[in-house]
Structure formats: structure tokens, C-alpha cells
Amino acid sequence: MSERLEFVKACLDRTEHIVRICDRFGISEKTGQKWLKRFKEEGPEALCDRSHAPKTHEGRLIPEVKERIIALKKKYPLYGAAKLRDWLMIHEPREDGKHWPAASSIGELLRRSGLVRRKRRHRNQEMTMSELDNERARALRPNAVWTADFKGEFRLRAGLGEYCYPLTVLDLHTHYLLGLKALDSTAVTPVKQVFEHLFREYGLPSVIRTDNGIPFAQPNAVGRIGKLGFWWIRLGIRPEHIRPGRPSENGAHERFHRTLKAAATKPSRTSLKSQQKRFDDYRDEYNTERPHLSLHEHRPPAQFYESSERPYPTKLPVMIYPDCSAVRLVDSSGGIKWQNQSYFLSINLSAQYVGLTETAADLIKVSYGSLELGAIDPMTKRFTPSLKWNGEL
């Protein structure tokens, strides 16, 4: 400030040209003319530093915008700033042609309004399939891969009532939530009924990927395949199990369960019927309202999902094997006979027909539909499981 006053004083004395005065003070002539003009128009106070901030802010949140963002946050308290902006861009585009504020501006508004909860940090989970990548079916289109799982059970009626076992089914390509059912157990029969309903409504997928829990898998069974899995195979669906203890191999589904737990299970309802109503409301929001970060323009899954071209048959298809194959009926103990020798396959195949085909290595390949179960060695008279899918994906 004092140097600027000295500069102006030297200019007003007129004993030296302004160019030389500017050189002496180490400024350009343009800057010198600016300070001199300010002093003449406004006096010494004009020589103080001025803010370089623009007088108007294009991104400033007007009251109407603030009110809408805060109202939407209260409606969807689990949505973060980015997801709130995506929702607004998708469902309420601005009529004035302007964009909604950036996620950072929305986040600052939410923090100032006390609407942001501190999140617990989760350790990064490995999302790759490691050495099994080439065996995993790729979800390149809707219904290529469905994923299914049970979210952890919880008690109803504030911890005093019966248990609820939520069964969740997702389309991996579009993340569309196909099914969200509140069941009272993980038994095969009610789970099969849920899938029958989904197959009738959406058609058949190519693959269903699950973990190794009941009823999707059965320990010690051939390929860990239970009754539910063999039913899928008869429909032309490949059951696919992740490796035991590797939930990251079904990472998208596990991440969905965290979202579901926060949004639709706390606090729990008083009955399975009322909890199902809450699940139905959440399923509708998740599919049609909630933006999804992994989809194009973060749009909701319902804008991308379409039903399968493979309808659910009115009758179970008959298992057809090549003419060169021998067909055997699996008995009630889970075994078959070949050349007067008994071989155990699986109790879950009881009353089903399998095909036996001789190979070039003098082994007898055993198949159930499109799934090769393993091979019988006539020399050692042993059946060795070795699963291989020979159907379409």
C-alpha cells in the first residue's frame, strides 16, 4: 500500500516520465496506469487489494435448488451426493437448460445441513476370479448370468419374532433385481417356488451363479450339486458355484446385500408379510428410481433389462442323449449299473436318466443332460467325478 502511494506521488510530481517511474518501481506501464487511474477516481482507498472472485457464480445454489436437494436426501437418506445428482439428472432435468450442481457442491450443502453420516471404511475386496477367470461365464447380455444368494437372516418384531431369510436374485449384466423374497427358511421347496415364478415372468437364464450354501450346493455331492442344481440343468441352465470362502467372486451381489441391509432391513418389520411389502417397495425403487454407477449414464437397471428369449416350459424337457449312448435310470440310492457293476453317482439324481458314452480312452463318460459328470473306468471299476459343461452359454 505504501509503495503504491509513493508511486502515485511520483507520478503526480511530473518531474519524471511515467515509463521511467514504472521501471523504478518494477511494474509495467499498464499496471502503473491502472493504479494512477484508480487513485484519481476513488482516492487512496482504491489502492487496496481487491478480490479476484467473480461477482456472480454460475454454479451458486439458488434456494429452490437447495430445497429440492435436501428434500430428495431426506427421501433417500442412503444416497450420497453423486447418486443424488444422478437421480436429478435422470428424473428431473432442469427446464432452464442448466445442469444440476456438481456432486462436490451437493456434498458441501449436505454437510452444512447436517445430512451426512460418517461411513465405516471397508477393506478393499478382490474382485477378480484369479485362475478361474476362463471358467466363469461372462455376463455380456441380459440373462446370460443370474446371481442368487441369501442375505444373512434376521429376526422380525424387533428381535423377538421369527427369522426372515431374504432370497435375492440379480441379473449380472444389468444389475436388475429380479427377485427379493422374504422366506422363513432356506429349504429347497420354497426356493424352487421362487425360481419357478421368476422363470415364468422373465424366462430362463443361461447361468445361475451362487455360493456353496444350502440349498444352492450340497457338500460331498458330485460337483456340490443338489436337487435345485439338477433341476436347473434339466432346464438347460448351468449352475455355477464360486469357490468356498471366496465371496469376492460374487462381489456385485455381496455389495448389493450391504445396500439392501441398510435400506430395507433396519428396523425389521413385525411379520414376513409386512417385511415383504417393504422389500417390494425397495425393489421398485432399486430397479426404476435409483441410479446405478456401473450402468450407462448411471441410469436405473430397469432401463436396460429385457426378458429372456427362452421361455419356461410347461413341462420339464425330456433328457435326450446321442444314439451312441446307453441310458440308465438312477435308482433311489443314487446309483446305476453298468456291466453288472454298481456305481454311485448322487442321491440327488434319483429317478433321473443319465447317458453313458464310450470314449477313445476306453472310459465310459457319464452325463446328465449338458453336464458331463465324470467317467467310469471299466478296468478299475471306479467312477471318477470330473464336471464339464457341454451346453450353450
Model pLDDT, residue 131: 32
Domain assignment of residue 316, yes or no: no
Model pLDDT, residue 160: 66
Strand residue runs (E) in 247-359:
326-329, 335-338, 341-344, 353-358
Model pLDDT, residue 52: 59
81: domain CATH number is 1.10.10
Cα–Cα distance between 128 and 145 in angstroms, integer? 16
List own/partner pairs for 320-325 with CB under 8 A and 24 or more apart: 321/353, 321/355, 321/357, 321/367, 322/355, 322/357, 324/357, 324/358, 325/355, 325/356, 325/357, 325/367
Statement to judge: residues 272 and 217 lie in one domain = yes
Measured from the Cβ of residue 26, the count of other Cβ atoms closer than 10 Å reads: 8
Domain assignment of residue 321, yes or no: no
Statement to judge: residues 34 and 174 lie in one domain = no
Domain assignment of residue 238, yes or no: yes
Q: Is 357 helix (H, G, I), strand (E, B) or coil?
A: strand
Cα–Cα distance between 19 and 382 in angstroms, integer? 104
Statement to judge: residues 227 and 275 lie in one domain = yes
Strand residue runs (E) in 153-213:
154-155, 163-171, 177-183, 207-210
Q: Output the nine-digit C-alpha cell for 204.
A: 430362463
Host H or E run for residue 19: helix 18-25
Contact by Cβ (8 Å): 221, 349 = no
Statement to judge: residues 83 and 149 lie in one domain = no
Cα–Cα distance between 52 and 178 in angstroms, integer? 54
Give the CA diameter of the chain: 126
Domain containing residue 224: 136-303
Domain assignment of residue 317, yes or no: no
Query: Whose CA is closest to 246, among 129, 124, 168, 145?
Result: 129
Cα–Cα distances in angstroms (integers) from residue 316 to residues 38, 312, 344, in the given order: 91, 9, 25
Statement to judge: residues 199 and 270 lie in one domain = yes
Statement to judge: residues 152 and 252 lie in one domain = yes
Statement to judge: residues 211 and 270 lie in one domain = yes
Statement to judge: residues 42 and 76 lie in one domain = no
Host H or E run for residue 389: strand 382-389
Query: Whose CA is closest to 105, among 79, 78, 81?
Result: 81
Domain assignment of residue 170, yes or no: yes
Cα–Cα distance between 118 and 153 in angstroms, integer? 26
User: What's the sign of the alpha-carbon dihedral 71, 270, 188, 249?
Assistant: positive
Block means of pLDDT (10 residues each) for the chain, 393 residues, are 83 82 86 85 78 55 85 87 87 75 86 74 35 64 96 80 92 96 95 97 96 90 93 95 86 91 89 94 95 90 96 92 93 93 94 93 93 93 92 76
Statement to judge: residues 35 and 77 lie in one domain = no
Domain assignment of residue 56, yes or no: no
Statement to judge: residues 144 and 108 lie in one domain = no
Cα–Cα distance between 241 and 249 in angstroms, integer? 9
Cα–Cα distance between 263 and 283 in angstroms, integer? 11
pTM score:
0.73
Residue 248: which residues within 8 A CB-CB, separation 6 or more? 125, 126, 127, 128, 254
Q: Output the nine-digit C-alpha cell for 303.
A: 432401463
DSSP code at position 119: P
Domain assignment of residue 215, yes or no: yes
Model pLDDT, residue 353: 95
DSSP code at position 235: T
Contact by Cβ (8 Å): 34, 49 = no
Cα–Cα distances in angstroms (integers) from residue 342 to residues 333, 373, 381, in the given order: 11, 16, 9
Domain assignment of residue 318, yes or no: no
Contact by Cβ (8 Å): 333, 327 = no
In the chain the first and final C-alpha atoms are separated, in Å, by 78
222: domain CATH number is 3.30.420.10
Statement to judge: residues 198 and 290 lie in one domain = yes
Question: How many domains is the chain partitioned into structurally?
Answer: 4
Statement to judge: residues 164 and 292 lie in one domain = yes
Cα–Cα distance between 75 and 317 in angstroms, integer? 48
